[in-house]
Amino acid sequence: MEYLQYFYVVLWVALGVLCVFIGKRLGAAGYMLAGFFGFLAVWYGLRSFAGLPVFDGVLGIVYRVILLVFLGLTVWVWYRGRKAAAQKDKKALPHDDDCHCDTCEEEHGGQNEG
């Protein structure tokens, strides 16, 4: 079963490289995921090649904290990017003269009474 440890290292490296290539489409979240998978590759590599007990004791706690921080930051960056893209798309859509959305109300100062 030792070959599975090496497989995980290769898997995390492959996913990291893939995220770098598709990072342009995903934005900052894609690059953060690439860093996340790079961290996983190094962590599993320390276990596989150096034989360090990286999932036990204090190192296991450090591993879990780093995972939570990485995943939390990635979700936050992804959410902000999606929200900004939605705002950009919303402003780009053409509106009718009698539109009462927030964007049109701000542009016309509430003068869209028809």
The answer to whether position 65 is within a domain reads yes
Q: Would 38 be classed as within a structural domain?
A: yes
What pLDDT score does 103 carry?
67
Q: What range does the domain containing 41 cover?
A: 28-77
- Please give the pLDDT value at position 27: 79
Q: What total number of domains does the chain contain?
A: 1
Contacts by residues 74-80 (CB-CB < 8 Å, ≥ 24 positions apart): 74/29, 74/32, 74/33, 74/36, 77/27, 77/28, 77/29, 77/32, 78/26, 78/27, 78/29
Residue 114 lies in a domain: no
The Cα–Cα gap between 82 and 86 comes to 6
- CA-to-CA distance for 100 and 35, rounded, in angstroms? 44
pLDDT reported for residue 6: 87
pLDDT averaged over consecutive 10-residue blocks of the chain (114 residues)?
83 91 81 90 91 90 94 88 79 66 65 49
pLDDT at 101: 72
